[in-house]
Structure 1
Amino acid sequence: MCCFFIFILFISCAVCQASRQFSIKTGESVTIPCRYDRKYIQHKKYWCYGGTFNFCTIQAYANNTKGKVTVTDYPAESLFTVTVNNLQTGNTGWYWCAVEISGPDVGEYLYITVKSDPDLSVMESRVRGEEGGNITVQCFYSAAYQNTQKQWCRFKDGRCNSVGRTATSQNSAVNISDDGRRSFSVQMSGLKKSDAGWYWCSAGDLQVPVHISVNNSTVFLNVTTNTDQQKDNSVHEMMSLWLLVAVGLGLLLILVSIVTYMFRKTCKKENQTRTRKKSNDAAAHTPSSAVDHEGDVTYSSVFYATKNQTQSLRVKDDEVTYSKMNSPPVRDDEVTCGNVHSLGDRDNEVTYSTVVRD
C-alpha cells in the first residue's frame, strides 16, 4: 500500500517543474504569472488547489473569474496570470498552474503562505517606467532571511542578477544593493521596450512577482506635451484677443452714446433759443391789444351839464360812454398835437375827448 502511494505521488509530479514559494500579507491580493509551452496555446489553462496534482480542486479556468480567483491567458507571451484577492491564513497551501491536454495534464506547483507579517514583500508589485529612463524596485525581507541570497530575476528567460553585481545586457543595466536593514533595491537604467514583462524579487526560496511596464520615451512625451501646451497657449491667446475686441467695442459704443446724447442736448438748446428769439421778434412787431395795454387806457365821459351843476356833478354808471382809439406805434418825432373844440357855445354842451396811443 505504501509503495502504491509512492507510485501515485511520483506519477503526479513527473511533469512538474521546480516549485516556487510566496509569502503574502493577510488581506492583500497577489498576481502570479504561469508560463507554458507555445504548443499549448490552444489548450485550456486552469488554477488548481491541493497537495496532489491528480486530486487538486480546480478553482478557475483561463479568462474566467470564480469567487476571488481570476485567470487571464496571454497567448502572445505564452503565459497566463492568476489573481487571488483578499487572501486569508486559511488560503495557505499548495497550488498548481496547469494546462489541460489529452494525456496527463502538465502543471507547475507552488506554495503560498499567508500571514500578517510576510517574510518577503515589495513596495509596489506594478512599476511603470519610460523608455530610456530608470526605475527602482524596493524589496523587503524578514530577519529570518537576513543572510540569504537576494536576487532579481526575469520571468521570461529565468535570467537572475544578484546583490552586489551590476549586470549589463542587450537590454538595460541592472544594479542590486542590500542596505543590510531588511531591504534591498533593484535599479534598472536605460529602459527599453523589451524590458517590459514579469520579474521577481527573491530571498532564499521565497519570491515576490513584479510587473514592469515601459512607456514611450520622454522625448516623445515632451513633444506631445509641448504640442498640447502650444494648443492651450493658442486658445488662451485667441480668447484674450476676443476679450480685448469685445472691451474695445463696448467702450466705442459708450463713447458714441455719450457724443450722441451731447449733440442732441446741444441741438435742443439751440432750437429752444431760436424759438424764444422768434417769439420775441413776433411780439415786437405785433400791435398790442387793449388788454395788453389795459393799464394805459384813458376813459372819456361825454355828458351835458350846466355851470351850476359842474361843482356837484355826479354821473351815473349807465350814463357813461366809453370810447377808445388805437393807432399804430408812432415815433416821438411824428407826434401831432391838436385841440379839441366843442361843437357848440353852450356851456351845457361840453365835449371831452381823449386820444389813446398804443
Structure 2
Amino acid sequence: MAAHLIVLLLLGVLKGLHSITTVSKVSVEAGKSISIPCLYESQYINHVKYLCEGYDWKFCRYAVKTNKPDPSGKYVISDDKKEQIFTVTINQVTNQNTDYWCVVEINNGPDCGQYFKLSVISDTRRLPVDHQRITGYIGESITIRCHHSNSGEMKWCRLDRNCVTGSPGSIDGITVSTHMRDPNVFTVTMSGLKSNDSGWYWCAKGDIQIPVYLNVTEKPITMKQLSEWNNSTVEENEEPRASYDTKILIIPLSVLILILIGVFIWFILSHKKRKVELSATAMTGEDITYSEVGLEKNSSPRVDKEVIYSEIKPKIQSSTKSLFAECDVELTYSSVVEKQRIKWDEGKDTEVSEH
C-alpha cells in the first residue's frame, strides 16, 4: 500500500512537473471547509482547470471545472489569471473524500495534475492555523500561529517561493521572524507589509501543511479614529476661525466709531459757534429803543399825510475804566414834524405844521 502510494505521488509529480504546484497533505476539521491553491505556469492561463476526486489518477472523477460549476455547492473553483493560481474550495469535508487532484486540461494531450490529500481530524486543537484567510495592513506587521502535534521541521513558505525555517529570515524582501515560545505553537511574524505581499503561504510541520491566504490592504478608518481626527481638526481650526471672525467685525466697528466721532466733533463745533455769536451780540452793550409814531385822524376832511422820520442817535459817554466797560447813554430825541395837506371843499391846499 505504501509502495503504491509512493508510485502515485511520483506519477503526480511527473505529470505535474513544472506545471502545477500545490500542498501535499492538509489537516482539516470534519464538517468544515478548506481552500487549496493550485499554481500553474503561464502557458496554461487560458486552459480549463478542474478538481478531480479520487485516489487513482486514471479513475478519478470530475468534481468541478472552471467552465462547469458544481450545482450541489460542495465544490467551488475560481481562476486568478493574473496571479496564475486557481483555487478549489471543498465544503463539508468528510472522511469518505480525502484524495484529490489539481488538474489543468490539455487539448490534444494528457492533462496535467498534482495530487494532495486531506487529513480529516475531529480534535480542533490539532488544527495548524487559527484562520486560513487573514488580513494585514500596509506598513504594519502580522502574526500567524501555526499549531502542530507531530514531529518534523517547522516551515513558513510562500507558494512556489522560498521558505523560512529559522529567525530572522525574509521572503521576497519582507522580514520574517519565527519562534516557538509556546508548546506546540510555531509563531510567524511578518513586518513592514506591502501590497504585493498578498498571496498564498503555507505553514508546515513535518509532512502536514496548511495553506494560508494573506490579503494586504490599506487599514480602514474606524469610527473612533474618525471621531478623534474630527476633534483634532476642530481644535486646530478653532483659534484661526475666531481670529477670522474678529477681523470681519473690525471694519464695520471702525466705520461706526469714525461716524460717531465725526458727529461728536460737528456737535461741539456748532455749539461753540453759537456761543460766539451770542457773545458778540452781548458785547455791543447798546440798548435800542424803538418809538412808535401815531396819527390822530379827523373824520371830516380827507388828509394826505406826509410823515418825516428823524434818525435817532445814541449819545455815548465814554468811561475811563475800560473800552468794554459800561456806557452811560443819553438819548436826544428830535421833534417829529408831520405835514398834512388838507383838501377843502374849495380845492385849496393848506399846509399845516405841528410841533
Whether TM exceeds 0.5 here: the answer is yes
Structure-to-structure mapping, 1:1-358, within 5 angstroms: 14-17=14-17, 20-62=24-66, 64-67=69-72, 68-92=74-98, 94-102=99-107, 103-117=109-123, 119-142=126-149, 145=150, 147-155=151-159, 157-162=160-165, 164-168=166-170, 170-179=172-181, 181-216=183-218, 221=221, 226=226, 230=230
Q: TM-score, normalised by structure 2?
A: 0.56
Q: TM-score, normalised by structure 1?
A: 0.55
- Cα-Cα RMSD: 3.3
Please give the alpha-carbon distance, in whole angstroms, between the structure 2 residues aligned to 1:105 and 1:179. 45
Offset at 1:66? Answer: 3.9
Q: Label 1:171 to 1:226 Cα distance change in 2 as closer, same or farther (>3 A).
A: farther
Please give the alpha-carbon distance, in whole angstroms, between the structure 2 residues aligned to 1:108 and 1:175. 31
Please give the alpha-carbon distance, in whole angstroms, between the structure 1 residues aligned to 2:8 and 2:90. 29
1:165-224: CA deviation from partner (whole Å, max 9, x where unpaired): 211355321011113511111110111111111101101111101111111268xx59x9
Offset at 1:49? Answer: 0.8
Partners of 2:103 and 2:113 within 8 A in 1: yes
Offset at 1:226? Answer: 4.8
Q: Secondary structure at the match of 1:65?
A: coil
Q: Which residue of 2 aligns with 1:298?
A: none
Q: Label 1:56 to 1:170 Cα distance change in 2 as closer, same or farther (>3 A).
A: closer
Partners of 2:47 and 2:105 within 8 A in 1: yes
Offset at 1:227? Answer: 9.3
Letter of the 1:16 partner, please give it: G
Q: Which residue of 2 aligns with 1:336?
A: none
1:23-48: CA deviation from partner (whole Å, max 9, x where unpaired): 11111110110011111111100000
- Structure number with the higher helix fraction is 1
Please give the alpha-carbon distance, in whole angstroms, between the structure 2 residues aligned to 1:115 and 1:12. 25
1:111-152: CA deviation from partner (whole Å, max 9, x where unpaired): 11212126542111111111110101111111xx1x310000
Letter of the 1:207 partner, please give it: Q
Q: Label 1:40 to 1:97 Cα distance change in 2 as closer, same or farther (>3 A).
A: same
Q: Label 1:176 to 1:14 Cα distance change in 2 as closer, same or farther (>3 A).
A: same
Offset at 1:12? Answer: 6.9
- Structure number with the higher strand fraction is 2
Offset at 1:228? Answer: 9.8
Please give the alpha-carbon distance, in whole angstroms, between the structure 2 residues aligned to 1:50 and 1:98. 12
Q: Label 1:13 to 1:183 Cα distance change in 2 as closer, same or farther (>3 A).
A: closer
Q: Percent same amino acid among aligned pairs?
A: 35
Please give the alpha-carbon distance, in whole angstroms, between the structure 1 residues aligned to 2:8 and 2:226. 66
Q: What is the number of residues matched between the two proteins? A: 221
Letter of the 1:191 partner, please give it: L
1:8-65: CA deviation from partner (whole Å, max 9, x where unpaired): 9987763135860111111111011001111111110000011222321110002623
What are the ranges of 5 or more consecutive residues in structure 2 without an aligned counterpart? 1-5, 235-355
Letter of the 1:86 partner, please give it: Q
What are the ranges of 5 or more consecutive residues in structure 1 without an aligned counterpart? 1-5, 235-358
